[in-house]
Amino acid sequence: MEFRHKSVLLEESIEALHIRPDGIYVDGTLGGGGHSYEICRRLSDGGRLIGIDQDAAAIAAATKRLEEFKDRVTIVRSNYCDMKKELGKLGITSVDGVILDLGVSSYQLDEAERGFTYREDAPLDMRMDQRQTLSAKEVVNDYSEMELYHIIRDYGEERFAKNIAKHIVSARKEKQLETTGELIHVIKAAIPAKARATGGHPAKRTFQAIRIEVNRELYVLDHSLGDMIDLLNDKGRICVITFHSLEDRIVKNKFRESENPCTCPKEFPVCICGKKPKGRVITRKPIVPSEEELEENTRSKSSKLRVFEREIQ
Ligand SMILES: C[S@@+](CC[C@H](N)C(=O)[O-])C[C@H]1O[C@@H](n2cnc3c(N)ncnc32)[C@H](O)[C@@H]1O
């Protein structure tokens, strides 16, 4: 199957990176290589791009897409939470820019057997990294009702989370849930008919929630941003594109905290905590897609770009 994915906020994020032709850049969510291609085009022979993705299919597609840039590109199959370690293996201790374009690619969604989509019937899976053992099947069949409720409510922002969790637990008492089709059937039964008639596919929010849990998406993001900011050279920038309000909040808070990390009480005349600012937030408000992009690419709908610039004092 062809790797199809339309990059979101492409121009905006590339412009915000302030690319230096001889700089070192890291794309932590390589996907089909859309953003990376635009970075590579702006590099000279002295520049370098390291592309990271945990998905084997993305690695294969991006390797092909970026072939023309030869030695300027190094592709690594890993989780971006291990960026510092992976760069260390390449002898790199600091970089000029980092980009993250979170979530799943259209390719992952289109590949039915990966189990990300509620549009096809496939085994419950949803792993971005197929080497990982935890999949949607374990989440759906082994998590407690309370855990499922919290995940579906918080990560899916689903109004009927409680009832969906209850229905899942009662259905699996009869027989393990094995496929996306079986899960969709249970979700539909848990949502009142009236509510089902509006607001898109009834399983959309629950599927998103389970995917976020399977791939520990929020935990990974929250525990990686600090390292990435520390990796930046003076004036180096990190650009993060999010698709979920919780992701955006994590990025916003981490950037703010890095700009103003002081934890001294307000009434202290001078700082004694010793925590020094790491740089400044470039985007007070997130950059969102243009009307044109929203019309052209429905996947861009909830996307937000935030940018932080490192300042080394
Ligand atoms: C939205 S796509 C990126 C698309 C890419 N920017 C482009 O223009 O083609 C997100 C990609 O990031 C990968 N990904 C998501 N979270 C990751 C993580 N924690 N570590 C490594 N890769 C991750 C997914 O496997 C997917 O291929």
Ligand 1 centroid to residue 108 C-alpha, Å: 10
| Mean confidence (pLDDT) of the chain | 95
pLDDT > 80? residue 4: no
- pLDDT value, residue 146: 98
- pLDDT value, residue 1: 64
Neighbouring-strand partners of residue 304: 242
The arithmetic mean of pLDDT across residues 124-145, rounded, is 97
Ligand 1 centroid to residue 11 C-alpha, Å: 18
Write out pLDDT tens, residues 177-213: 999 999 999 999 999 888 887 778 999 999 999 999 9
Atom from ligand 1 closest to the CA of residue 58: 27
- pLDDT value, residue 196: 80
What is the residue with the minimal CA distance to atom 20 of ligand 1? 79
Neighbours of 93 (CB within 10 A): 10
pLDDT interval class at 110 (50, 70, 90): confident
What is the residue with the minimal CA distance to atom 14 of ligand 1? 29
52 Cβ inside 6 Å of ligand 1: yes
Atom from ligand 1 closest to the CA of residue 32: 9
- pLDDT value, residue 298: 87
136 Cβ inside 6 Å of ligand 1: no
- pLDDT value, residue 111: 87
Report the C-alpha gap between 167 and 165 in whole angstroms.
5
Instruction: Name 210's Cβ contacts closer than 8 Å, sequence gap at least 6.
Output: 126, 136, 139, 140, 151, 152
Query: What is the pTM (predicted TM-score) of this model?
Result: 0.95
pLDDT > 90? residue 120: no
